[in-house]
């Protein structure tokens, strides 16, 4: 049996795969039922034709065509391939934004499905397979379904719904900007400006489950690189030079003391990981330099800045103690994905109405999400939607070539996002 952290949270929990019919009014539920066959068809189509970040040309064209058909105000090419649809209700009210990410990953699919991806493309100069290994195909199809449902309620809808279909959540290609941050720079929330934003992510927890938590739910994600400059010499005479490999090894160990010995362990979980070390070409030559790259994860903005300072100090001073020199570069990545406490508390009854006992508090997740940029701009709430099949042998984590999303979760996703939008606009 394969279980993720979220999977362990739900171990042994009996969760219904069918959302409660009381989640929506009979009329709205009939709208959901009517659109579901199309949602399934969309999801399978997107799954079979995945596209990488900033290259979601086919996906965004299908989304834009459908939103135009529904009569929405449609804006395209926001953040390269992003699409925004504006549904203005017939009654005055607030503005709510609903977000879905569209991009796939450079992964060769290994799931035996009739609509499995066989796509290949170029990614950073390499020929790669392409797969919706993180489940964004489900996100797009679900939000299109919600658009279809709410479009039928336009005359009585109090307020405005902003449908945001975002590219490049997994990151833009080298040398490009992309994702939520770029969409915000290009005015995605400028007119109309949302009062709140909601988003979901499919997760290998049981179908019928939803996991959410207040405040920091997913970690910030920063990349660092450290170049240790020594002095090249013969491997048989290390005293004749300065060995950057030994210094780099000391730095790796020193970095581990930052989360384990230098930070307040009661404040927030934090991680400093070195993911690659490269240096040297021959067994008997001590090289001139060594390069290291890694990631920094935490759930608190002040701790994040503190770790950056400590990584720089640790690397440079360890190197200096050996007569070497370390250059440290830290690339700021996604912020903490933080759920607004008041908004989350307000919407908990909505989530509970949809999944009942399937609602649980999510653990902190050290993965990162660029929904965080939207939630920094306006109050936001992000949650996990269970898509794990009943057979544990078919349960794999996101980003696995074997990741599989059970389609029984699709109507629950449509119901949940629809209910959140309606309840927020109605002030419930």
The reply to whether 135 and 268 lie within a common domain is no
The angle at the Cα of 414, spanning 411 to 415, to the nearest 5 degrees, equals 85
Q: Of 284, 313, 331, which closes a domain?
A: 331
69 is an active site residue: no
The reply to whether 35 and 158 lie within a common domain is yes
- Is the pLDDT score of 13 beyond 60? no
The predicted-structure confidence for 242-263, as pLDDT tens digits, reads as follows: 999 999 999 999 999 999 999 9
Mean pLDDT in residue range 290-309:
96
The reply to whether 301 and 419 lie within a common domain is no
Question: Is 394 exposed, middle or buried, given 0-12, 13-18 or 19+ CB atoms closer than 10 A?
Answer: middle
The predicted-structure confidence for 132-142, as pLDDT tens digits, reads as follows: 999 999 999 99
Q: Of 331, 348, 365, which closes a domain?
A: 331
Read off the tokens for 122: 């170029």
Please tell me which residue in 73, 223, 327, 407 is annotated as part of the active site.
407
The reply to whether 326 and 369 lie within a common domain is no
The reply to whether 355 and 393 lie within a common domain is yes
User: Looking at residue 147, which CATH number applies to its domain?
Assistant: 3.40.630.10
pLDDT band at 428 (very low <50, low <70, confident <90, very high): confident
The reply to whether 132 and 85 lie within a common domain is yes
Q: Of 309, 331, 353, which closes a domain?
A: 331
User: Looking at residue 288, which CATH number applies to its domain?
Assistant: 3.30.70.360
Helix (H), strand (E), coil (C) string for 245-300: HHHHHHHHHHHHHHHHHHCCCCCCCEEEEEEEEECCCCCCEECCEEEEEEEEEECC
Residue scoring higher pLDDT (352 or 124): 352
What's the rounded Cα separation, in Å, for the pair 306 and 213? 25
Read off the tokens for 164: 């945001």
DSSP string computed for 140-196: HHHHHHHHHHHHTTGGG-EEEEEEEEES-TT-PPTT---HHHHHHHTTTTTSSPPSE
The reply to whether 352 and 231 lie within a common domain is no
Cβ contact 9:209 at 8 Å: no
Instruction: Write phi, then psi, for 166 (nearest 5 degrees).
Output: -105, 135
Note the pLDDT of residue 16: 53
The predicted-structure confidence for 172-211, as pLDDT tens digits, reads as follows: 998 999 999 999 999 999 999 999 999 999 999 999 999 9
**β-bridge mates for residue 141, sequence order:** none
The reply to whether 238 and 89 lie within a common domain is no
373 is an active site residue: no
Domain of 232 in residue numbering reads as 220-331
Note the pLDDT of residue 21: 45
Cα distances (angstroms) measured from residue 139 to each of 100, 124, 144, 270:
5, 26, 9, 29
Cβ contact 335:179 at 8 Å: no
The reply to whether 105 and 171 lie within a common domain is yes
Distinct helix (H) and strand (E) counts, the chain: 10, 18
- The rounded percent of the chain whose pLDDT value lies above 90 is 92
The reply to whether 35 and 129 lie within a common domain is yes
What's the rounded Cα separation, in Å, for the pair 352 and 339? 17
Largest CA distance in the chain: 82
What's the rounded Cα separation, in Å, for the pair 56 and 49? 10
Note the pLDDT of residue 288: 98
Mean pLDDT in residue range 7-13:
51
The reply to whether 308 and 352 lie within a common domain is no
How many domains are there within the chain? 2
Note the pLDDT of residue 22: 56
What's the rounded Cα separation, in Å, for the pair 198 and 380? 6
Q: What is the pTM of this model?
A: 0.92
The reply to whether 388 and 303 lie within a common domain is no
Mean pLDDT in residue range 109-117:
97
The predicted-structure confidence for 223-233, as pLDDT tens digits, reads as follows: 999 999 999 99
Residue 133 DSSP class? T
Please tell me which residue in 66, 169, 334, 369 is annotated as part of the active site.
334
The predicted-structure confidence for 27-82, as pLDDT tens digits, reads as follows: 999 999 999 999 999 999 999 999 999 999 999 999 999 999 999 999 999 999 99
């Amino acid at each position: 049996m394969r279980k993720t952290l979220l999977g362990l949270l739900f171990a042994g929990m009996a969760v219904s795969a069918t959302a409660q019919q009381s989640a929506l009014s009979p009329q709205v539920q009939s709208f959901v039922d009517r659109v579901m066959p199309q949602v399934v068809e969309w999801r399978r189509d997107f799954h079979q034709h995945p596209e990488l970040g900033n290259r979601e040309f086919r996906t965004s064209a299908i989304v834009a065509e459908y939103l135009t058909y529904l009569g929405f105000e449609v804006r395209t090419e926001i953040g390269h391939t992003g699409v925004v649809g504006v549904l203005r209700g017939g009654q005055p009210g607030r503005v709510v934004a609903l977000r879905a990410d569209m991009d796939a990953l450079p992964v060769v699919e290994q799931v035996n499905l009739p609509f499995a991806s066989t796509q290949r493309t170029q990614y950073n100069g390499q020929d790669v397979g392409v797969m919706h290994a993180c489940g964004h195909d489900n996100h797009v199809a679900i939000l299109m379904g919600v658009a279809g449902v709410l479009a039928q309620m336009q005359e009585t809808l109090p307020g405005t719904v902003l449908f945001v279909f975002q590219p490049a959540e997994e990151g833009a290609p080298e040398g490009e900007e992309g994702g939520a941050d770029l969409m915000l720079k290009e005015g995605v929330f400028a007119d109309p400006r949302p009062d709140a934003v909601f988003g979901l992510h499919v997760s290998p927890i049981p179908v019928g489950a939803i996991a959410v938590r207040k405040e920091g739910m997913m970690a910030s994600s920063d990349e660092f690189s450290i170049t240790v400059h020594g002095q090249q010499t013969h491997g048989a005479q290390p005293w004749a030079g300065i060995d950057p490999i030994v210094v780099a090894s000391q730095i790796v160990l020193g970095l581990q003391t930052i989360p384990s010995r230098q930070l307040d362990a009661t404040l927030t979980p934090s991680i400093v990981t070195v993911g690659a070390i490269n240096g040297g070409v021959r067994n008997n030559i001590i090289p001139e330099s060594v390069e290291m790259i890694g990631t920094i994860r935490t759930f608190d903005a002040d701790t994040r800045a503190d770790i950056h300072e400590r990584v720089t100090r640790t690397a440079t001073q360890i190197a200096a103690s050996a007569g070497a020199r370390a250059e440290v570069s830290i690339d700021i990545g996604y912020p903490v994905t933080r759920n607004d406490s008041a908004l989350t508390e307000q919407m908990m009854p909505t989530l509970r109405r949809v999944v009942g006992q399937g609602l649980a508090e999510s653990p902190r997740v050290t993965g990162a999400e660029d929904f965080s940029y939207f939630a920094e701009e306006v109050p936001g709430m992000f949650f996990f939607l269970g898509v794990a099949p009943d057979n544990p042998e078919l349960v794999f984590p996101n980003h696995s070539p074997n990741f599989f999303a059970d389609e029984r979760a699709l109507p629950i996703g449509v119901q949940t996002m629809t209910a959140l939008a309606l309840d927020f606009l109605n002030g419930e």
